[in-house]
Structures are given as C-alpha cells and as structure tokens.
Structure 1
Amino acid sequence: MLFSLIAVMLLLSGCAGFQVGSDKGAALEAGAEGKVVVDFWSFWGSEIRRPVIEKIIEDFNNSQDEIVVKHTFVPWGDIWTKELASIAAGDPPDVVINDIKATALRGQKKQAMNLSQFLEKDDISERFYPELWEATLYEGDSYGVPFNTDTRILYYNKEAFKEVGLDPEKPPTTWAELEEYAAKLDKKNGDTYDRLGFYPLFGINYDVWMLNAAGQNVVDNKGNVEVDTDINRQTLDWLLGWKERYGDNVINSYKSQIDSQQSNPFFTGKLAMFVNTPTFNTQIRDYAPELDFGVAMLPESEPGNGHTSWGGGFVAEIPEGSSHPKEAWEFIKYLTDQDAQEYWAVKNYDNVANIKAAEATAKNAEMSEKDRIVYQMAVENMPNTLLTPTPLQAPDFPTLINPEIDNVMLGKKTPTKALQDAQAAVERLVKENQ
C-alpha cells in the first residue's frame, strides 16, 4: 500500500490507533474515520515479501468495517530495539512480528501481552504445530501466535548418485550411510577435490547434530542442563572425524563458496549433499534451475534413533501496553488463519505455522512440481522438528557453549574437557537466574 507522507511519518513515530481528540486521530486517512487503527510492525520490507503482507492486510481491512490495520515497516536490525523502547515509553505498536524462541521470556518480562483472555473465547491453538504453540507459553499461558517456521532437510544431487551407482531414490538414512555415501561421492584430484560428498557443518552447525543425536535440547525449559553427555561427546568425535578427513584447506575453500550463495558448490555439482532449510529451494530455482536433486529427512545417528531436526520461526505478538488489544487480536486471528497463511506460503515459498495451510500449500497448483515436493518434505519433517526456546533460567547459554565447541574444532580442547567446562558454566548461569 501507499500511504500519504504524513501518515507514514506518524506511523513511524509510534502511531497506534485512532483516539478522538488526540494527535493520533490525525493519522487517519480518508475512509478510515470512525474505525480503530491498528499499528502493525514487521521487518518485511523486501520487494517480494512486502507486497504479500500488505495484500493480506488489505484483504483484512476489506473483510470488516470496524478496524483498519496500518503496516509499519521497521528494518530487521532495529525493530525489536524500537519495540522495547516504545513499550517503555508507553506507546507501543498493537501487533509486532517477533522471534518465537524468546516469546516466553518476553511474557515473563511483561513485554508481550498474555493472550489467555482472548484464547478463552477463541481457542485457536489447534491450528498450529504443537512444538510451535508450546514455545509461546509461559506458565501455561500463550504470549504470541505462531506465524511462520522452518526446519532442516537434506538435499542431494541425483545425477551424482547415479554416477557412482547409488540409487537416486534412496538417500542415506543413518550417519553410517551418510559416511558411506559421501565416500563414494567424493571425487579427489591430487590434494584437491573436484567433488565433495558431504560435510556436516556446511549449512548447519554442531548444535543441530547434537539435537539430531540426542533428540532433546541441551537445556530444557526447567533449567536442566544436559551438555556433558556421552551422546554429545560422540557427536563431537563424529564431527572431528569429518574435519580430519577433508582438512581445513578444503573445508575453508568450500565454505567461502557457500557463503557467497550464488556460487554454492551444490549448485555446480561440486558438493553432492547439503543440509539447509526448505526455502533453500528458492536459491536452487534462481541459480541452478536445471539441477536434478532430491530431498530427505536428516539421517538418524543410529537406526531407530529418530530423524530429529531443528527449526525456528516468528510469532505475532501484542506488546504490553497496546492501545487496541481486542482489535489487534482480531487481526492476528486473520493473519494466522488458513487462507492468509496459505497465501503467504505460496507467494513467498515460506513454511507456515498453520497445519492445514501448510498441507494445502504442498498441493497448491500455483507451484511447480519440484516446489511441491520440497514443501511436502518440509511438512512431513515438522513432527521431527524441535525448537530451542530460550530457557528462562539460562537465556544466554549459547554464548557459554559456542566458544567451548570452537576450541574443540580448533584442536585446543578435547570434546570431554570442552563439554565439562560448558556444563559447569551453564549450571552456574542457571543458578544465578534461579
């Protein structure tokens, strides 16, 4: 939508809605008089996403005669800092898109509104994947409504599989098979590689593999710490084995290509298998449209251990102090209902939190067959996908673990020593926050 200059300026300054006799009343455009203005903040300002969210807003505004939603774009690097400042100033937006991982923490700090008063009348919790809804809860009450999400899946090059005699319809299902397939797919030329079969720390980090192996977070929502465990030591040993196999020079060379996106070696056939989000498919469409690839769940560490993956996402929240919480709730219900969610998913090729919308998107005729195949894998992988909500007792725990794991990968500490030190540090953090 295009707004008049004065409306935009007022929105950016924190306009939350229409109040008779107030300065905010001047922000109403022609045709909105008598309606409640809901100020909605998002970071979706790109040429792809902004038109989609603004079409959803337009459809909501046209669907009823009492509320007008105004979209305020705030850049990614600023939105949550500005939101906290607006809450402190007593003039927050009415709805904001926020990170799902810290929703409970914002509920605890009274930065997000308790939604129980609305859910008692309109219980929409069944719309969403249980793991996502659980992440919005603090002391049993929800403080945000899931909007979109993601997961991690395995991409593999079918032509490379055929070349070395692997069945292109049977990707690896265990870590042992992953190593076996990678060895067959490796194509070495002297001290260099013309093709790398796989490297587990391309696309994801060590924490996803720990989650995959253990099937649980290293710190749970009760503050229990499970960092120094046998399964985590085995995972680090496994990762070190891959590092020793290829060496730093090869790994760093490939990593620099992956970081440049469009020259990702998976696009050119120089990397046969790669882990990433389902939305990585859009980069394949852009940079390697002829690539013949398949997708699969993450291999499990041992047969029967589970194909556990990791995901995140965003929620729609009503900041504490919103001028129009009831109207904000009506918009959030619309934003997270099936039609709006499917429209967002199809137009943006994004994984959404609404189960019915996600399942419908995987069959949507507007998308290509390959797009539908990847999206269907994402849907099938959601029951395997765990979130890592910020534990209230240890909000900064990754800053204590990450340096220790870095020391392992740099050869400065053994996995045993690093995990022991990380365990002790996180336990101290939990104790400080009790």
Structure 2
Amino acid sequence: MHKRRNRIAAVLAASVSTALALTACGGGGGGGGQTADGKTEVIFWQQQFEDYQQAWFKEHVDAFNKSQDEVVVKHQVVPADTWEQKMQTAQAAGKQPDVMTSNYGDIVPGSREGRFLPLDEFLPEEAFTDIKDNVAGFVTVDGEHMAYPMLVEPSTVLYYRTDLVEAAGLDPDSPPTDWDGLIEWAEKLTDGDVKGFTIASTAPDLAWSSWGLQQNACGSFPVNDDWSEATATDPCYAELANFYKTLFEEGLIPQQPKVGYADGAPYGDGEVAMMAGGSWVVGQLKNDYPDMVEKTQVAPFPSIDGDQTKTTATLGGWTLTLDAKSKNPEAAASFIEYLLAGDPEIMADFFKTSGFSKYTVRTSVDEALASDPEASDDPFMAVISEKVVPYGEAEPAYPWDISLAMGTAIESAMKGVTDVDSALQTANDQINDVIKKQKLEGKAPSN
C-alpha cells in the first residue's frame, strides 16, 4: 500500500471484529466458480476505508446482483493492515480476487508485473473518453487502460479561518496566491498560542505531501524523464526548501506538531489559523468539527509565482482493477463498468455520501453533480473541483525511497540540520544510488 494510504490503515484498520469475521469466513477469493443456482461468481476484494464507504459498496454490489441473471459478485472487505499479506497468500494459492481496489501508485508496477488485465476489450470506448484528461494517464500504461479510476483526492488545499483573517485586517475573499503572500498572511495570523499556518514538517510526511509543490516549483519531480539521473540539485528545489525553512525558522508553523500532515486536528482544534491539507480534511471537519465549517474557506494552495493554473497538488485515489488470472474477465469487467463507468448517478451518490470530500474523475458525473442542489450548495466542492483538481498531477510512479530522500532533505534544510545546498546534494546522491541499485534507468512509465 502506498505510504500516504497508511493514514487510512492507521485510522480504520483496527476493526478487530471485521478481521475476525474475515478469518472465520476463510475463502481467499478466486473467481470462476458457479453458484448453486448456476450464476457465474465474481470475487471482489475492497480495501477497508471509512465506514460510509463500506455501506456504499455493499449497497451497490447488492443492486448489481439484483440486476443480473447470470453473474453474482461476492464482496469482501479486507482491513488495510492485512491487505498485502492476504493478497500475497491468495495469489500464491491461485485464489486471488477477480476485481480489487487498487491505488494509483500500484497501477504501473502492477502492470509491469503482469498482475492486471487491460480493460479496453471489455468496456465501451465511451467509458474511457468520459475520464478527465488529466486523470486518464493515471490508469494508462503503454497505451492500455489497466484500471478504471474511481476518485481523486488532492493532496494540498489551503484552508483558512475567515474570522481570524478578518480580525487580522485581511480579506477572506482574496487569499494569497503566491508563497510570499502566504508567508505574509501567516505572519499576520500568528498570535500568541495560535500559529498562522501548519504544513508538513517531518520527512515521511514531506516525502509525499510536497510532491505537488515540487511540481509547482520545478515542473517535474527530482529525476529526469527516463529515470537515469537525479535532478534534486536543480535551483528550483532550493527555492522550495527555503520556503519551508522560512515558515519553520520564523515560527509561523508548529515546531513540534502533535499529529501528521494528513490529520486536520490542529486546525479543527483552533491551534492554527491556516492549514495545508488534503481534500479529505473536508470530511474530517464536517464530521468532527462541524462548528468550524461555517468559518472556513478553501482555496488552491499558493503557487511559487502566483500562477494558480500551475500544479500545487498531486491527485491520489483509488481504482478498480481486473486480475490478470481471472477465469471470468468479462463478468468481472461488467461489474467494474456498472459501478464506476456506467450510470453517472451511481458515482454521484458516492460523492454526496462522502460529504464532497473526494472528487469525480468523469465528465458525466460532474454534470450530474452540477444539477444537484446539495452539491451546488456545498461550501468547498466548487473551489476544489474547479480550481484544484483540473491542475493536479499524478503521484510519481518511482520507488518510495526517492520520495523519502527528498522529504529528508527538506526537513533537514527547514530545521537547520544542514544548509539547503548540502541537504539537496545528499538527496541527489541517495536518489542516484536508488536508480543504480534498483536498475530504474529506462523504466519510467509511458502513457
């Protein structure tokens, strides 16, 4: 599981009762069987997410089954912290599921390893043309669609307290658009125990949460196009490191944060006036801090030069994939088409159920939501879906070790452990070492 997705595991995978129920059920998957009434059985494994998602999947699996005369989907929820072990065990025994949830970061390596079956021959062409242009590449490997996308979650959105902004003499309807403006706001909003801003400040969080800002500063990640050489010493990365360094050295962000970047609690608890956070924080605020919602506005995260059409957020998210060894790929693909690529009202229902904390990947679903009063009235959806998502980039497909090298460099520089140039040189050397040891040259994905 991708490192960022561990936030889901940490919060949700501790459901002991679910784990025991799965153990009791046995059954490792493996489609191809027939039910007692002669229907073709498709096994679907879903990684455990928020409770509302389990209920949503169950509702629509049941609806699919009721609509079918010849196919039945058997739905199994697997806790995130046991997912990889259970999958490896099932694959070794030839009992892997026909359909499974897969995050974007797994699509390229899974395809290279031959784990997924392309969907192109099973789904109609319009299913793929409906996918937004900046998302289509996330699931395309060597010209084939290896997964069907379900949602995106922007990694970086600016949240701010309108009451504190007004008290500081700032205009909440004119949030900062560049890094200098953000620093100015953070200075004016820092007051006593309340810091002006919060953003990631530890290497593991910086490793992934800074992806969008790496793109913003440099237009690329810190490796060249064919993954043959590191580029972490390019001057633009020094500008990024100095941005974080200014925030930390001037005391504009918490010096010892109590929680990681993925958790919006410091903002919800009133410890900070502004926050860089993923779109999932919308759901956290609505569920855990409802009083904070009415005094919160969101905006695209400021750009290095004020250009709000430049990427500031990567788009993480989930897909459904078809196992390469499925014995009934057509039946399995028919379920993927029904759930994710069919009637746009099905996925529109998902986004409403999520409290509009996750965002659509299909044009037709956008259109369905546009005519929904609840979606139109949501205080956050329009900004994130119209001003953040369209400019988001895919998360990098290279090994996590490269991201961690950059995260470590940024933390070292921002906290003064070493100077910026030395920190980036160390990262550059480490990335080149990863490239050499893992033989990455020439393995960059092409869409």
TM-score between the two structures when normalised by the length of structure 1: 0.84
The equivalent residue for 2:238 is 233
The equivalent residue for 1:389 is 396
Which moves more between the two structures, 268-277 or 90-99?
268-277
Q: CA deviation at 1:201?
A: 2.6
Q: Aligned match of 1:412 in 385, 403, 417?
A: 417
CA distance in 2, matches of 1:170, 1:406: 30
CA distance in 1, matches of 2:82, 2:226: 31
The equivalent residue for 2:223 is 219
Q: CA deviation at 1:273?
A: 1.0
The equivalent residue for 2:198 is 199
CA distance in 2, matches of 1:60, 1:77: 28
**Contact kept in structure 1, 2:31 and 2:326, CA below 8 Å:** no
Pair 1:235–1:259, CA change in 2 (3 A): closer
Superimposed CA distance per residue, residues 299-341 of structure 1 (whole angstroms, 9 cap, x where no aligned partner): 1111337442222111101122112111111111111132221
Instruction: Indicate whether 1:78 and 2:87 are aligned.
Output: no
Secondary structure of 2:291 counterpart: coil
Q: CA deviation at 1:366?
A: 4.2
Q: Which runs of 5+ in 2 are unaligned?
A: 1-20, 442-447
The equivalent residue for 2:279 is 278
The equivalent residue for 1:375 is 381
CA distance in 1, matches of 2:146, 2:389: 22
Superimposed CA distance per residue, residues 177-208 of structure 1 (whole angstroms, 9 cap, x where no aligned partner): 11111122121xxxxx2322123337864444
Q: Aligned match of 2:258 in 256, 266, 270?
A: 256
**Partner AA of 1:429 in structure 2:** V
**Contact kept in structure 1, 2:302 and 2:308, CA below 8 Å:** no
Identity of aligned residues (%): 23
CA distance in 2, matches of 1:80, 1:142: 23
CA distance in 2, matches of 1:260, 1:96: 25
Instruction: Indicate whether 1:244 and 2:249 are aligned.
Output: yes
CA distance in 2, matches of 1:329, 1:386: 27
Q: CA deviation at 1:88?
A: 3.2
Secondary structure of 2:258 counterpart: helix
CA distance in 2, matches of 1:98, 1:107: 11
**Contact kept in structure 2, 1:236 and 1:415, CA below 8 Å:** yes
The equivalent residue for 1:190 is none
Secondary structure of 2:158 counterpart: strand
Superimposed CA distance per residue, residues 19-50 of structure 1 (whole angstroms, 9 cap, x where no aligned partner): 3xxxxx4xx36xxx121111000023653221
The equivalent residue for 1:54 is 58
CA distance in 1, matches of 2:325, 2:262: 42
Instruction: Indicate whether 1:346 and 2:352 are aligned.
Output: yes
Superimposed CA distance per residue, residues 4-24 of structure 1 (whole angstroms, 9 cap, x where no aligned partner): xxx9779742233453xxxxx
Pair 1:360–1:90, CA change in 2 (3 A): same
The equivalent residue for 2:8 is none
The equivalent residue for 2:143 is 140
**Partner AA of 1:373 in structure 2:** P
The equivalent residue for 1:149 is 152
Q: Aligned match of 1:63 in 55, 64, 67?
A: 67
Pair 1:405–1:320, CA change in 2 (3 A): same
Q: Aligned match of 1:433 in 437, 440, 445?
A: 440
Q: CA deviation at 1:410?
A: 4.2
**Partner AA of 2:258 in structure 1:** S
CA distance in 2, matches of 1:247, 1:164: 15
- 1:68-217 → structure 2 map (5 Å cutoff): 68-119=72-123, 121-151=124-154, 152-187=156-191, 193-201=192-200, 205-217=209-221
CA distance in 2, matches of 1:354, 1:267: 31
Which moves more between the two structures, 92-101 or 348-357?
348-357
Superimposed CA distance per residue, residues 186-233 of structure 1 (whole angstroms, 9 cap, x where no aligned partner): 21xxxxx23221233378644443233223233366325432211101
- 1:3-82 → structure 2 map (5 Å cutoff): 12-17=26-31, 19=33, 25=34, 28=35, 33-44=37-48, 46-82=50-86
**Contact kept in structure 1, 2:199 and 2:277, CA below 8 Å:** no
CA distance in 1, matches of 2:252, 2:372: 44
The equivalent residue for 1:320 is 324
Pair 1:219–1:69, CA change in 2 (3 A): farther
Alpha-carbon RMSD across the aligned residues, in angstroms, is: 2.8
Which moves more between the two structures, 315-324 or 122-131?
122-131
**Partner AA of 1:353 in structure 2:** V
Superimposed CA distance per residue, residues 394-418 of structure 1 (whole angstroms, 9 cap, x where no aligned partner): 5642243333334334433222122
Superimposed CA distance per residue, residues 56-78 of structure 1 (whole angstroms, 9 cap, x where no aligned partner): 11121222322111101111112
Aligned length: 404
Secondary structure of 1:68 counterpart: strand
Superimposed CA distance per residue, residues 338-393 of structure 1 (whole angstroms, 9 cap, x where no aligned partner): 22211111112332322332453365334583xx23112221111111122313xx
Instruction: Indicate whether 1:364 and 2:365 are aligned.
Output: no
Q: Which runs of 5+ in 1 are unaligned?
A: 1-6, 20-24, 188-192
CA distance in 1, matches of 2:418, 2:406: 13
